[in-house]
């Protein structure tokens, strides 16, 4: 089929302005803060008004999350909440937008959790503001040093058996080298070149944080995938799906979806 170059140029122009170059008591809560003072890119993916997963706003109509958060339904029943600190309390900047289309990575395997990425096309473009704003994602193959501390956030569990918080939480976690994470007492060679590990004892992403971004130097470098059942285990840190290896899939998926929504006249 013939490429609609005008649509492609519009998408590229939008992304080129936004792309970058490259649960526990220790977590901090953002009570009494406005979203623009914290993380205006954070998304709560909800089904029937209940938080299921995190996500990151990457364009005015697109959220990136984890494929295991998909509903696997032809008619998406998901909504995305943006501009929120509290999931339940009224807030000045909070908006809820219906998900028009779920696009899991075509190679995602729910058994081995490879290629665990999901694109969500929103039903309408959101009005960008200091409280609702996309986050650049890594689009160059730049190695990030082990030990670097990066930011993860979400509405996930504070403790293994505890309830999920109502307010957004943040945590700085150290990156762990792939060699270390693939040791037998860690994940025994399960971590591929498209994954990264991060976390330490009692500092980890947890259930409900899946799909949220791992942010290093203001750039989304990975998406929360999962980890060991007991969050905060020092030899079973959080596992994240790197974004950079999938940049072409992200661009092509957005382009194709835009074509479907805006077909060229005959």
Any idea which residues carry the catalytic annotation?
68, 116, 210
Q: Who contacts 265 (Cβ-Cβ below 8 Å, separation ≥6)?
A: none
Is-contact 203 24, C-beta < 8 A? yes
* Angle of the 5-18 helix axis to the 247-261 helix axis, nearest 10: 130
Q: What is the rounded (10 degree) CA torsion for 87, 89, 94, 100?
A: 50
Element (H, E) at 33: none
Largest CA distance in the chain: 60
Residue with tokens 């270390």: 180
């Amino acid at each position: 089929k013939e490429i609609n170059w005008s649509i492609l140029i519009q998408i590229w122009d939008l992304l080129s302005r936004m792309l970058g170059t490259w649960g526990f008591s220790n977590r901090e809560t953002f009570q009494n803060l406005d979203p623009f003072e914290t993380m205006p890119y954070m998304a709560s993916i909800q089904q029937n008004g209940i938080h299921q997963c995190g996500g990151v706003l990457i364009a005015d109509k697109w959220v990136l999350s984890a494929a295991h958060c998909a509903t696997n339904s032809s008619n998406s029943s998901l909504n995305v909440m943006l501009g929120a600190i509290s999931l339940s309390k009224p807030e000045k900047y909070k908006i809820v937008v219906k998900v028009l289309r779920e696009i899991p990575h075509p190679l995602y395997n729910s058994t081995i959790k490879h290629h665990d990425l999901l694109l969500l096309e929103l039903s309408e473009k959101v009005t960008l503001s200091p409280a609702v704003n996309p986050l650049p994602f890594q689009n160059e193959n730049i190695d990030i040093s082990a030990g670097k501390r990066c930011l993860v956030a979400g509405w996930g569990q504070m403790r293994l058996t505890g309830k999920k918080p109502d307010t957004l939480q943040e945590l700085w976690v150290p990156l762990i080298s792939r060699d270390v994470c693939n040791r037998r007492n860690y994940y025994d060679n399960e971590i591929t070149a498209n994954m990264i590990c991060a976390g330490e004892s009692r500092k980890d992403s947890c259930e409900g944080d899946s799909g949220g971004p791992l942010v290093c130097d203001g750039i989304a470098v990975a998406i929360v995938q999962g980890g060991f059942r007991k969050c905060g285990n020092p030899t079973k840190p959080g596992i994240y799906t790197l974004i950079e290896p999938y940049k072409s899939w992200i661009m092509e998926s957005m382009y194709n979806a835009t074509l479907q929504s805006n077909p060229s006249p005959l």
